[in-house]
């Protein structure tokens, strides 16, 4: 059993398809099948049930999947520890960020990092903050630059970089656009346009409403802040958007005794060694804040 075979096994397990696994591993499908067959022969058990076009893990396959992830993560950690001894900032850096942070906070730091360390291969993935944190926990990426979760997550370390206050906003023609000193309950008469269920930002917004949170009428939901802004600007409802996004297309309405803010920052795994490249990017991001 070698590293390449374990990687092929995980590719099949995670895609549920020999053909998609072949695309991910840059191998032919017969090569994938041959490696899986050899692994099954070595272990003396089937790892996949092949039912028509569906490929599903057997019980033995599920056990191996969990251990294979652990083995590969530990090997990656050993490699990083050894490479770090040289002091070189090189190799591949896998990281994730949200679309909003990628557009509004990272262009400068990423450019500076690339200009300073062109030998580093950046594998930058855009995903929701919740998915990025889960990917760090699984060891798929080294770090995430995202909205920090409202409560600490097991095995993850979050470090705030930017304070990101949110304003309640409506379009210029909204009935509340010119009202002053509103109570939070005034918003209950109008539909809200919020980030999707289960997102950190949505929970932060709803928490600010206290006992009124369950009375909010949510008309639409999307995880893209730019789309939220557009929907609000054309008068389809109210929302809470980062203050940095507010412009003449929106009207900020002040709600008595309400303050909404989130933290944007860096998420890493508390039990894993960071590469020199990851440490250097973190330094540059912090200096840019």
Q: Which of 24-28, 63-67, 74-78 has the lowest mean pLDDT?
A: 74-78
Same domain for 13 and 126, yes or no, is no
- Most confident region among 1-15, 83-97, 224-238 by mean pLDDT: 224-238
Residue 103 and residue 50 share a domain: no
What is the percentage of the chain residues whose pLDDT exceeds 70? Answer: 100
Count structural domains, the chain: 2
Q: Are residues 21 and 164 in the same domain?
A: no
Which residue, 82, 108, 125, sits at the end of a domain? 82
Q: Are 166 and 246 in contact (CB under 8 A)?
A: no
Confidence at residue 79, expressed as pLDDT on a 0 to 100 scale: 81
Do 78 and 98 sit in the same domain of this protein? no
Nearest to 169 by CA among 148, 154, 190: 190
pTM of the model: 0.77
The CATH number that applies at residue 35 is 1.10.10.10
Nearest residue to 119 (alpha-carbon basis) of 92, 142, 95: 92
Shared domain for 107 and 202, answered yes or no, is yes
Q: Which of 28, 56, 82 is the last residue of a domain?
A: 82
pLDDT in tens, 197-220: 999 999 999 999 999 999 999 999
Query: What does the alpha-carbon distance between residue 200 and residue 259 come to, in Å, rounded to a whole number?
Result: 16
pLDDT, tens only, 117-150: 999 999 999 999 999 999 999 888 999 999 999 9
Domain residue limits at 25: 3-82
228 in the same domain as 120 = yes
- Collapse the DSSP code of 16 into the 3-class scheme (helix H, G, I; strand E, B; otherwise coil) and give the result: coil
Output Rg (C-alpha) for the chain, integer angstroms. Answer: 23
Going by C-alpha positions, the residue among 244, 53, 225 that lies closest to residue 128 is 225
194, 195, 196, 200 alpha-carbon torsion, rounded to 10° = -130
Contact 176, 253 (CB under 8 A): yes
Same domain as 103, residue 41 = no
């Amino acid at each position: 059993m070698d590293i390449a075979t374990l990687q092929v096994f995980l590719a099949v397990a995670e895609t549920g398809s020999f053909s998609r696994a072949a695309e991910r591993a840059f191998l032919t499908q017969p090569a994938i099948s041959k490696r899986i067959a050899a692994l099954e022969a070595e272990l003396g058990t089937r790892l996949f049930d092949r039912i028509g076009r569906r490929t599903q893990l057997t019980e033995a396959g599920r056990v191996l999947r969990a251990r294979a992830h652990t083995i590969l993560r530990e090997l990656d950690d050993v490699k990083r520890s050894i490479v770090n001894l040289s002091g070189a900032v090189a190799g591949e850096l896998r990281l994730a960020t949200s679309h909003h942070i990628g557009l509004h906070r990272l262009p400068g730091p990423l450019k500076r990092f690339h200009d300073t360390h062109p030998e580093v291969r950046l594998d930058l993935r855009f995903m929701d903050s919740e998915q990025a944190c889960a990917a760090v926990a699984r060891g798929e990426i080294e770090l995430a630059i995202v909205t920090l979760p409202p409560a600490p997550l097991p095995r993850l370390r979050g470090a705030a970089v930017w304070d990101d206050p949110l304003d309640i906003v409506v379009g210029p023609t909204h009935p509340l656009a010119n009202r002053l000193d509103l109570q939070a309950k005034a918003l209950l008469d109008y539909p809200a346009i919020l980030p999707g269920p289960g997102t950190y930002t949505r929970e932060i917004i709803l928490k600010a409403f206290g006992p009124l949170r369950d009375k909010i009428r949510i008309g639409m939901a999307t995880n893209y802040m730019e789309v939220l802004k557009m929907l609000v600007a054309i008068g389809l409802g109210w929302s809470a958007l980062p203050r940095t996004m507010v412009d003449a297309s929106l009207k900020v309405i002040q709600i008595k005794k309400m303050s909404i803010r989130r933290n944007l920052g860096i998420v890493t795994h508390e039990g894993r060694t960071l590469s020199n490249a990851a440490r250097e990017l973190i330094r540059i991001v912090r200096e840019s804040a």
